[in-house]
Amino acid sequence: MNKQLWMTALVAFGVTAITIGAYELLWHKKEKVVRIEHVSGAPARSVLYTTDEHGEWVPLDFTTTAEKVVDAVVHIKSTITFGKGEDPTAGMREWFDPFREFFGDPHDNPFGPFFRFDRPKGPKGPQVRIGTGSGVIISDEGYIVTNNHVVADADDIEVTLHDNRTFKATVVGTDPSTDIAVIQIKAKELPKLSFANSDEVRVGQWVLAVGNPFGLTSTVTAGIVSAKARNINILRDQFAVESFIQTDAAINPGNSGGALVDLAGNLIGINTAIASPTGAYSGYGFAVPSNIAQKVVADLIEYGVVQRGVLGVMIRSVDGNFAKEKDLKVNTGAYVDSLLANSAAGEAGIQPGDVIVAVDDHEVKSSPELQELIARRRPGDKVRVKVNRFGKELTFDVTLRSRHGDLALMTREKSGVLQILGADLKPIDKDLARKLGIPGGVRVEKLYAGKLRKYTDMREGFIITKIDDKSVKTVEDVIKALEGKKGGVLLEGVYEDIPGTYYYAFGM
């Protein structure tokens, strides 16, 4: 019995020993075959998805869009030359003030000024002011859209493409009212971007901003559309149109004139400004919507000047408090505060106190939205305007007029003369002529890049009474006197608020 127990114990011990040995052997063997694999060149693939305009799920991938867009975004260097004795900072208040709040003081910018100054050493002589920005190629014929403030007053414009080729550019036309300009280079078969319908842009959708901030060429940043129809009061033009797309994609000095695109790489806006206490990106960027830019570009290329239809109304946005103050029946829309002379809206039947709530089936919630919708039209165009008149909705067919109250379009020939002068002109009325003791004249309403600003010290408000000793009373008289003119020109006239007769001479 004892012998049998010992045999049983011995067998049990042997089985246990064999089991433990086998376990240890297998464990160590398993440890020896474990591998840590390293995969080189792992592809960068999107892990996020979004929906397209059809509601289909698509990968959220910026690489393809960036590769498409950077080739069509250019770097622009504009140079303004000042003669001996001229102050290169003259006019800087007008140059900087509208953008100081957004770009900061150029001398305090830790990254360097948006416009840098190159002053020659040695004896005082010609001096230059150099500004840099961005532009977007929109045609394989060399047309480039940018901001007006990037190329305004420039004597020399140099464009550098993404492939580092450089070209001299000429200004096709400018529009201070929207801060859009078109320039052209002599080059063919260029990469270009197509305009998208900015009406279809939605708050929250992904966008890319492409430009040359701080001289860092071909920079791409991503963000979303934060808001639409923003009015930030940055454009100081009398007829300014502000209905910006707001984005949190990083935009900095040097991005001005660059592209804001959707994920398909189509142009939805022209980057124009930032809102920042420091002059650098802090979360808010603003772009001119493509639908406004496209219309301005088409006019500048075809006519040399923007053909802008106007309603002839003074407006303000409606909110809850204003609705209570005026006892309105709506809390959104554009309130008609007053009618201007020769008002197209007034002629159609719109009255002060009406709230414009729609234009051609497009809902109007604020003044910027109304400005944007009308800014796409030309004099002579008809629009259907819906208003709320103390709770009752009425619809009016309005034929838009020009700023001067007529229906005619400005021809390229006429606009060419005004573009050379760099001025917006308007005939004075009989009452003012009688008050000033003159038979008539044409007032210089606005000065921009051109002969008058560059070669004379004329102020806005000057009333031209004679050109080369011939009386002028209309804009057509001025154009007729200067069309085909070569050599020197002498302008004679007066100011409404300064006594005496003044003369300005320049060469055509």
Instruction: Pick the catalytic residue from 78, 134, 149, 354.
Output: 149
- The reply to whether 69 and 169 lie within a common domain is yes
Using pLDDT thresholds of 50, 70 and 90, give the confidence band for residue 119: very low
Burial pattern 26-53, b for ≥16 Cβ within 10 A else e, equals: eeeeeeeeeeeeeeeeeeeeeeeeeeee
The pLDDT of residue 275 is above 90: no
Residue 319 annotated in active site: no
Please name the residue ranges forming H helices in 108-241: 148-151
Instruction: Let me know if residue 416 belongs to a domain.
Output: yes
Confidence grade of residue 8 (pLDDT, cut at 50, 70, 90): low
Decide if 219 is inside a domain.
yes
Q: Which of 399, 424, 447 is the last residue of a domain?
A: 399
- Find the helix or strand (DSSP H, E) in which 451 lies: helix 451-455
Q: Residue 292 belongs to a domain with what CATH number?
A: 2.40.10.120
Query: Is there a domain that residue 17 lies in?
Result: no
- Let me know if residue 376 belongs to a domain: yes
- Both 198 and 179 in a single domain? yes
Confidence of residue 20 (pLDDT cuts 50, 70, 90): low
- In this structure, what token pair is assigned to residue 155? 């004597």
Q: What mean pLDDT comes out for the span 34-44?
A: 46
Does residue 16 form part of some domain?
no
In the predicted model, is pLDDT for residue 260 greater than 90?
A: yes
Could you give the 3-state DSSP secondary structure of residue 344? helix
Same domain, 283 and 320: no
Looking at the structure, tell me whether residues 283 and 140 fall in a common domain: yes
- For residue 135, CA distances in Å to 85, 176, 187, 193, 288 come to 33, 16, 15, 11, 13
Residue 250 domain-assigned (yes or no): yes
Of the two residues 383 and 112, the one the predictor is more confident about is 383
Confidence (pLDDT) at 345:
96
Q: Are residues 80 and 112 in the same domain?
A: yes
- One-letter amino acid at 508 equals M
Across the range 161-187, mean pLDDT stands at: 93
For residues 169 and 129, give the distance between their C-alpha atoms in angstroms, rounded to a whole number.
17
Domain residues for the domain of 322 are: 313-399
Structural domains in the chain (count): 3
Residue among 200, 408, 415 nearest 304 (CA): 415
**149 classed as catalytic:** yes
Q: Quick check: helix, strand or coil at residue 20?
A: helix
The answer on 294 and 439 residing in a single domain is: no
Task: Decide which of 266, 281, 306 is a domain's last residue.
Answer: 306
Q: What is the pLDDT of residue 223?
A: 95
Least confident of 151-160, 242-251, 411-420: 411-420
From the candidates 153, 175, 179, 248, give the one annotated as an active-site residue. Answer: 179
Based on the fold, state whether residues 330 and 271 are members of the same structural domain: no
**% of the chain beyond a pLDDT of 70:** 79
Own/partner contacts of 321-328, CB < 8 Å, gap of 24 or more, are: 326/353, 327/390, 328/355, 328/388, 328/390
Mean pLDDT of 135-142: 94
Asked if residue 200 is part of any domain, the answer here is yes
What CATH number is given to the structural domain containing 450? Answer: 2.30.42.10
Q: Which of 119-128, 284-293, 330-339, 446-455 comes out lowest in average pLDDT?
A: 119-128
Phi, psi of 174 (to 5 degrees): -135, 155
Q: Residue 423's pLDDT is what?
A: 85
Residue 179 annotated as catalytic: yes
| DSSP code per residue over 403-427 | TTS--PPPPHHHHHHHHHHTEEEEE
Query: Bigger pLDDT: 8 or 272?
Result: 272
Which position among 226, 256, 290, 367 bears the catalytic label? 256
For 52-111, write each residue's pLDDT tens digit.
667 777 667 799 999 999 999 999 999 987 544 444 444 333 333 334 333 333 334 333
SS3 (DSSP) at 249:
coil
Instruction: Give how far Cα 307 sits from Cα of 12, 181, 410, 448, Å.
Output: 105, 14, 7, 17
Query: For all residues of the chain together, what is the average pLDDT?
Result: 82
Q: Is residue 220 located within the same domain as residue 296? A: yes
Provide the terminal-to-terminal Cα distance of the chain, rounded to the nearest Å: 134
Q: Where among 263, 280, 306 does a domain terminate?
A: 306
Question: Domain check: are 356 and 376 in the same one?
Answer: yes
Assess contact for 168 and 158: CB atoms under 8 A.
yes
- Asked if residue 151 is part of any domain, the answer here is yes
92 and 160 belong to one structural domain = yes
Domain identity same for 127 and 213: yes
Q: Is the dihedral of CA 219, 64, 148, 421 positive or negative?
A: positive
Positive or negative torsion for Cα 242, 257, 210, 294: positive
pLDDT of residue 103: 37
User: Are residues 354 and 454 part of one domain?
Assistant: no
pTM surpassing 0.85? no
Q: What band does 122 get if pLDDT is binned at 50, 70 and 90?
A: very low
